[in-house]
Chain A
Amino acid sequence: MSATLTESLRPTATPELAKRVELSAIDASTRGPVLYFLGSSILWLILGTVFALIASIKMHAPEFLGDSEWLTWGRVRTAHLNAVAFGWSVNASFAVAIWLMARLARAEVRHAGMLTLAAVFWNVGLTIGIFGILAGDSTSIEWLEIPPYATPILFVAYALIGAWALITFRFGRSQHIYVSQWYILGALFWFPSIYSVAQVMLLLEPTRGTVQSLVNWWFAHNFIGLWLTPIGVGAIYYFLPKVLGKPIHSYYLSILGFWSLALFYNWAGVHHLIGGPVPVWVQTAGIAASFMMVVPVLVTAINHHLTMVGSFSALKYSPTLRFIVFGAVNYTLTSLVGSLASMRSFSEVVHFTQHTVAHAHHGLYSFFTMVMFGAVYYIVPRVTLKEWPSVKLISLHFWTVAIGNIAMIGALTIGGIEQGINMNVLPTNPDGTAGEPMAFLNVMAQTLKWLEWRTYSGILITVGHVAFAINFAWMLWQPRKPGITQPALFRNAPDMEVAR
């Protein structure tokens, strides 16, 4: 493209530069809330990791902190789940969603105070909630354990953020709605809808009998499917092409992926109740929907893969890309495993085992959390105008969590399948008849080695999280160095304009 005369005379007037100035102003306007949410999310991540380690150790060494009622396994495990799901994941999602919404709508953040207030409400509500869980007020409804006295505070936070997102979307300068925005808008609408329905139908006016379980899993699975997944996939859709400096492969595939996800993920939650005392037709619908999830997953995977093709060498340089690609690949893997595990025959074996735990971490960690790490590495330098102080720490972070995570998922998947076979499959006698099931204590004893593996891998992951937190804190504390123009890369890219 040939330059226009004005551009040649005044280099600062290039459209490219003008756009950068605009983006930079937008980034700066998000600074307060984004850093507040990210800072809190990282604090929760560390706390949640500590709870996780305690729970993991207790599971093979039950006398560890055995006399502490506050840290008894059933409570500390629940505190872990809520700290990482609502503390780390949701705070990080808010930060990433806010930043993406502002950038994609090309709108500077108005009313940043509203967002900061939302952040205060969210984190105060959550602190009260998790304290309540440790004190014994958990509801023991999976994914909805936060005691009812803390939830209204969380709702206020949500209302503020939702209102803000609508304002930003409405007053944005961009005419085009990029697919990441679809996902984020969807998520911002879906989460409060399912959360309020679940609160009403389970806690305020509980419906009767096992209908409760249906509400429970409709909510819990959709928290992942309609909140974390759209935020994660939306972020991949933004960062992948952004870092590579080329457009996403296919616009139409991305739309197909969005609508098929919206349609099928919704129904998939019932697969947590296969073989349980709920109507068989709804289990079948859940299985069918879980299976149909192959469509959005493969469509998205193909779209991302074809975008990456030819640029794999960039993985050597860009931390953001490395985390994001790790996450994207695992999104595909975990979803396919999920579809498989929802089949009746497979579910008969692995339901009720550590396989479920592996699968949950595969989705929430290998996919979602890794994508969020990648996003943080991209966003924070842009909103603070500082550079990551230590590339070594980024590298340490990546390798410890990647290896720790793979080890953990591997151990619990294999361990869960072994546990499931021992527990649910009858051995065959020499004469061909079915034998006695393995004694329960033997099933438990055989599973122990895998539970120990989880602790070892968890220690590795903890190291990574500490490295991440140190780097983040160091970055905020260090003074701004005006001279820096180089992004923090693992090594210098030869002639590629890769940003982080």
Chain B
Amino acid sequence: MNRAPLIFLGIFFTVAFSWTGIVLTNHLMYADLQPVFDENEGRAFPQPLPGDALRGKEVYRDLGCMYCHSQQVRHPGFGTDIQRGWGERGSVARDYIHERRVYLGTMRTGPDLRNVGARFAGEGGRNWHIQHFYNPTEVSNVTLSNGRTYGSIMPPYRFLFRTQPIIGEPSPRSVQHLLPAKDQPPVGHEIVLTQRGEDLIAYLLALKDPPLYPEEARRVYVPPAQPDRGEPRPGTAPESTREVLQ
């Protein structure tokens, strides 16, 4: 008896079955999620990233940051993400709809970065990132009860900086004043952040999800052990969800 056709059919159908179930069904179900317009703010959420942050995301891709950092906040009651301040709420599918490439990540050698823009913001945030990229152990270290000090195991990214001779006026982009004595450049030289470094920092500063969208607030988000606060008003994402999230 020649079973070959039967085997081939089975081989084909098993993989077609899982593709239909996992990929196609979900593609049809929610690949066309839309941003939600918020009348109070006059804008739709989530907002797409600005251009310099998009270029920064390319640096994030190129250097493989996602192999140590996830970009998804777990919901309250599952893990400790909320307690760690990695976000005010769990991530939902709508947060990612503008992303041409999604970096959910599967490793947390370092902290989740989905809302890192909320933790490090503005001029101070930029300066911290500069110091951190230049020498992670300098800014992040811990002394355990055994008396030993452990520095961050995040790799240094000094190649995102350039040491150059000062010609005429010092560059307004020079950063050595942020660095410790041992990292100072030779006299007559300065350290500047490269464009890639600027972009990467712009990306990190922009990483921040808005408060929960009304529809998800109704469907997905269950506040842990809190009295029922009633239905959030639809169409007013920040207001109503701030209330739910408190």
**Chain A interfacial positions (CB closer than 8 Å to B):** 58-60, 62-63, 66-69, 72-75, 77-78, 136-142, 169, 175, 177, 182, 185-186, 189-190, 193-194, 197, 201-202, 206-215, 218, 222, 226, 259, 262-263, 266-267, 269-270, 272-273, 275-279, 282, 285-286, 348, 351-353, 356, 423-426, 436-437, 439-442, 444-446, 448, 451
The stretch from B47-55, B61-69, B232-240 touching chain A is B61-69
What chain A residues lie within 8 Å of B14 (beta carbons)? 262-263, 266
Question: Max chain B CB contacts within 10 Å: which of A60, A439, A444, A451?
Answer: A444
CA A277 to CA B97, docked complex, whole Å: 11
A140-B101, A185-B8 given; A278·B17 CB < 8 A: no
Q: Answer whether residue B167 sits at the interface, using C-beta atoms and an 8 A cutoff.
A: no
**What chain A residues lie within 8 Å of B19 (beta carbons)?**
194, 197, 218
Check A423–B80 contact: CB distance below 8 A.
yes
Q: Give 10 CB contacts A-B under 8 Å.
A: A73-B64, A140-B103, A175-B2, A194-B15, A197-B23, A211-B31, A262-B15, A352-B70, A352-B105, A426-B83
Residue in A68, A279, A423 whose CB lies within 8 Å of B29: A279
**In whole Å, how far is A216's beta carbon from the nearest beta carbon of chain B?**
8
| Interchain CA distance A279-B75 in the complex, whole Å | 13
| The residue from B25, B105, B159 contacting A67, defined by CB atoms under 8 A apart | B159
Chain A to chain B: the 4 pairs with minimum beta-carbon distance, closest first: A74-B64, A266-B18, A445-B150, A352-B108
Q: Which listed residue (A66, A169, A218, A356) contacts B106, Cβ 8 A?
A: A356
* B32 contacts the other chain (CB 8 A): yes
CB distance from B242 to the nearest CB of A (A): 20
How many A-B contacts at CB < 8 Å in the complex? Answer: 222
- Choose the segment among B137-145, B169-177, B180-188, B198-206 that binds chain A (4+ C-beta atoms closer than 8 Å): B137-145
In Å, the complex CA distance between A211 and B66 comes to 18
**Contact assessment for A140 and B64 in the assembled complex, using a CB-CB cutoff below 8 Å:** yes
| A169 cross-chain contacts in B, Cβ below 8 A | 4
Given A62-B154, A177-B7, A352-B70, A273-B64 contact (CB < 8 Å): no
In the bound complex, what is the Cα–Cα distance between A332 and B8 (angstroms)? 26
B23 to chain A, nearest CB (A): 5
Q: Which of B10, B90, B106 is packed against the most chain A CB atoms within 10 Å? A: B106
B4 contacts A177, CB within 8 Å? Answer: yes
A residues within 8 A CB of B190? none
Give the interface centre of B4, B111, B155 by most chain A CB atoms within 10 Å.
Answer: B155
CB closest chain-B residue, reference A63: B156
Interface centre among B18, B93, B103, B109 (most CB of A within 10 A): B18
Contact A185 B15 (CB under 8 A): no
Whether the Cβ atoms of A189 and B8 lie closer than 8 Å is yes
User: B101 to A208, Cβ gap below 8 A?
Assistant: no
Contact A62 B10, beta carbon cutoff 8 Å: no
Distance, CA A380 to CA B115, complexed state (A): 54
Return B102 CB to nearest CB of chain A, in Å: 5
Q: Which of A202, A209, A267, A272 is packed against the most chain B CB atoms within 10 Å?
A: A209
B153 with A72: CB separation less than 8 A = no
Q: How far is the CA of A445 from the CA of B153 in the complex (A)?
A: 9
> CA A177 – CA B22 in complex, angstroms?
31
B26 touches A279 (CB 8 A): yes
Return chain B residues, CB-CB under 8 Å to A175.
Answer: 2
Asked if A441 and B150 sit within 8 Å, CB to CB, the answer is yes
Pick the residue among B10, B22, B137, B158 that contacts A267 (CB under 8 A): B22
CA distance A185 to B15 in the complex (A): 13
Write the chain B residue with the least CB distance to A276.
B72
Partner of B144, one of A197, A214, A277, A442: A442
Quick check: B158 and A66 within 8 Å, CB to CB?
yes
Interface residue? B245 (CB, 8 A): no
The answer to whether residues A62 and B72 also contact, given A218-B19, A352-B106 and a CB cut-off of 8 A, is: no
Q: In the complex, which residues of chain A have a beta carbon less than 8 angstroms from the beta carbon of B109?
A: 59, 444
A60–B154 Cα distance when bound, in Å, is 9
A136 in contact with B136 given A78-B67, A269-B22, A426-B83 (CB within 8 Å): no
20 A-B pairs besides A197-B19, A209-B33 with CB distance below 8 A are: A59-B109, A68-B159, A77-B67, A139-B61, A140-B64, A140-B67, A185-B7, A186-B7, A190-B15, A208-B97, A210-B104, A222-B18, A269-B22, A273-B104, A352-B70, A423-B108, A442-B144, A444-B110, A445-B142, A451-B153
| B141 closest partner in A (C-beta) | A441
Contacting B10 at CB < 8 Å: which of A68, A262, A353, A451? A262
Complex Cα distance, B63 from A148, in Å, reads 17
User: Looking at A74, A78, A139, A353, which has the most chain B CB atoms within 10 Å of its CB?
Assistant: A74
Cα-based distance from A62 to B32 in the complex (angstroms): 42
Shortest distance from the beta carbon of B72 to any chain A beta carbon, whole Å = 5
Known: A136-B62, A441-B141. A67 touches B156 (CB 8 A): yes
Q: How far is the CA of A210 from the CA of B140 in the complex (A)?
A: 32
Instruction: Give Cα A262 to B13, complex, Å.
Output: 9
Question: CB < 8 Å: which of B27, B63, B142, B144 contacts A74?
Answer: B63
Q: Among A63, A69, A222, A276, point to the contact of B91 (Cβ < 8 A).
A: A276
- A275 near B78 with CB under 8 A, answer yes
A175 to B70, CA, bound (A): 52
Interchain CA distance A424-B83 in the complex, whole Å = 10
Do A209 and B83 contact each other (CB < 8 Å), given the known contacts A214-B23, A353-B108?
no
CB distance from A190 to the nearest CB of B (A): 6
Q: CB-defined interface of B58-92 with A at 8 Å, one 1/0 digit per residue?
A: 00111111111010101100111001100000111
CB-CB < 8 A to A424: which residues of B? 79-80
Q: Are the C-beta atoms of A440 and B84 separated by less than 8 Å?
A: yes
For A218, give its contact among B23, B92, B141, B150 (CB under 8 Å): B23
Could you tell me if B92 and A277 are in contact, using CB atoms closer than 8 angstroms? yes
Are B104 and A75 touching (Cβ within 8 A)? no
Instruction: Give complex CA distance A381, B21 in Å.
Output: 46
* Docked-complex contact B142 and A439, CB < 8 angstroms: yes
Q: B25: which A residues are within 8 A, CB to CB?
A: 282
Contacts of A426 in B (CB 8 A): 80, 83
Alpha-carbon separation in the docked complex, A175 to B3 (Å): 10
By a CB distance below 8 angstroms, the chain A residues around B3 are 177
